[in-house]
Amino acid sequence: MLLYKIRTLYGEPCPGQGIRRGWHETNKVPSDTSPKPSLWKGKILPFLGQVRRLFPLKLNGFFLLGGAGLLLVYFGLIQQDLILLMASLVLTAVALLNILLVCIAAYVTHRWWKSLVELLPGELNPLLTGVPGRLPLARRPPWIPLVEVSWRWLEPERVQVSWGSDFEGAYEEFTFQQRCLITSVVREFEIADVLGFASIKLRRKQSLQLAVLPKPQPINRNTFVISFHGGEDVSDLRGEPIGDRVDMRQYSAGDPPKLMLWKLYARTGKLMVRQPERAISPTPRTCAYLVAGPQDEFCAGLLRNILESGLLGSGWRFGADGNQGYCERADEALTFLARSGNLSAQGREEVGLRSFLDQAAKDGFNGCMVGLPSLPGPWLDKVRQAASQRGIEVTFAAAPGYVPSTFSSRGPAWWHKVRPYVISIPPAERPGEPETVLNRLAGIGKDRWLYNPAQHGFVRYHESQGGKGLG
């Protein structure tokens, strides 16, 4: 039993254990089949990098110390220039003092973190993307005059880190910009003098279990239920063949003008349209799947809200890239969503939609809602091949994926206009292109839906109507 709990904590099912209901190999992580690095990349380069980080002199400090030594030896001792001799002695003393202070501060920081890491918690409560979290520190970072100590997170990436103190004590504050599931944190401490002549970098690894979940995005429950569970868009068989206008609703983009109630608009000023009665059809079993890729954070938040609200109906199933198997509970679905973010952060693609749809079709599922990233990529071809198979109806859903973050909001306004022409913008900060993604999937699947943030709902996508419209 103890072995089973340990393997469960690290994401591996215990051998010999049967698959229980709701488990379905949910925590099994695909094995890493990447080739082993060469001797140069595996050992020599990391060793040289460590030597460079521990070497205390920066480039400007090297020139300062070299210039001071040249003045001291040539002009001071050989040429017997007393003014340059005193100036070179002062510069040499300043450079050596900076190096000494930085070395002392690096040793004190090393001792401080070594004694502190044993007191840090090994697991934190789940966080939301964009919401800061805190890690309590038993003691404040060491203070040495004329030396600054700072650190950042190397793994995982795209985490804004700072430290502070309040009445409860010192703490480390961090903010994730992307969902992920981590088991360790690699920090890089930089100990540098205030003049910028000397610097030492220390890298330390800490075991930390943390799940960063996508922020749930708002969604109109009524619109979603009508769109995905409202039956067929044909008239009820008990009415007239053309369809009885038995209901009305507020006008939305894409409605034909012939269904508008102009008399009601003249009396009340509200633009309403007639709505035909939908055909009676049994509620199908629906599953959902998230394709991980660039700009998928917003779509992951939508799927979280849909799953937690039970909008897929009873007996739903969920899967996501980066996970094997499927889940049938909301708490396991959150773990699936968090783990899929690791692929996006590492820039890897592991589209497992085909095997998921095959198993769902065998188990009697009628339809599958597939959440898509907002930037096109090689994953689109794999999605097209997976959704082309018969046996289950696939509905694609895309959403605007760009959410301005604290990283992209720094600097003046003119810099954001010039930045795309100066440096390459990472995929996580590019504006999403959900229309392009849906256009590439034309003719595949049953429907294509685009999320409208203003209405908090999905609209059926049509290229002929300029992109958006309700079917």
CA pseudo-torsion sign 321, 327, 333, 336: negative
pTM as predicted: 0.72
Classify residue 219: in a domain, yes or no. Answer: no
Question: Cβ of 123: how many Cβ atoms within 10 Å?
Answer: 11
User: Among 280, 296, 318, which residue terminates a domain?
Assistant: 280
| 396-425 residue pLDDT tens | 999 886 544 444 445 566 655 665 555 555
The span from the CA of 199 to the CA of 148, in Å, is 10
Classify residue 317: in a domain, yes or no. Answer: yes
Classify residue 3: in a domain, yes or no. Answer: no
For residue 237, give its domain range. Answer: 232-280
Say yes or no: 304 and 276 in one domain. no
Say yes or no: 65 and 91 in one domain. yes
| 167-203 residue pLDDT tens | 878 899 999 988 999 999 999 999 998 888 889 999 9
Classify residue 351: in a domain, yes or no. Answer: yes
Say yes or no: 344 and 244 in one domain. no
User: How many structural domains is the chain composed of?
Assistant: 3
Say yes or no: 447 and 386 in one domain. yes
| 231-247 residue pLDDT tens | 444 444 444 444 444 57
Mean pLDDT of 37-46: 77
Q: What is the pLDDT of residue 286?
A: 87
Classify residue 196: in a domain, yes or no. Answer: yes
The span from the CA of 209 to the CA of 181, in Å, is 8
Classify residue 420: in a domain, yes or no. Answer: yes
* 3-state helix, strand and coil shares in percent for the chain, rounded to the nearest 5: 35, 25, 40
Classify residue 436: in a domain, yes or no. Answer: yes
Q: What is the pLDDT of residue 335?
A: 94
Q: What is the pLDDT of residue 465?
A: 44
Say yes or no: 407 and 328 in one domain. yes
Classify residue 258: in a domain, yes or no. Answer: yes
Say yes or no: 165 and 260 in one domain. no
Say yes or no: 328 and 371 in one domain. yes
Q: Which residues contact 115 (CB under 8 A, 6 or more apart)?
A: 139
For residue 415, how far is the Cα from the chain centroid? Answer: 25
Six-digit token string for 67: 């210039």
Say yes or no: 335 and 457 in one domain. yes
How high does pLDDT run on average in the chain?
78
Say yes or no: 299 and 351 in one domain. yes
Q: What is the pLDDT of residue 3?
A: 38
Say yes or no: 256 and 177 in one domain. no
Say yes or no: 364 and 463 in one domain. yes
Say yes or no: 350 and 268 in one domain. no
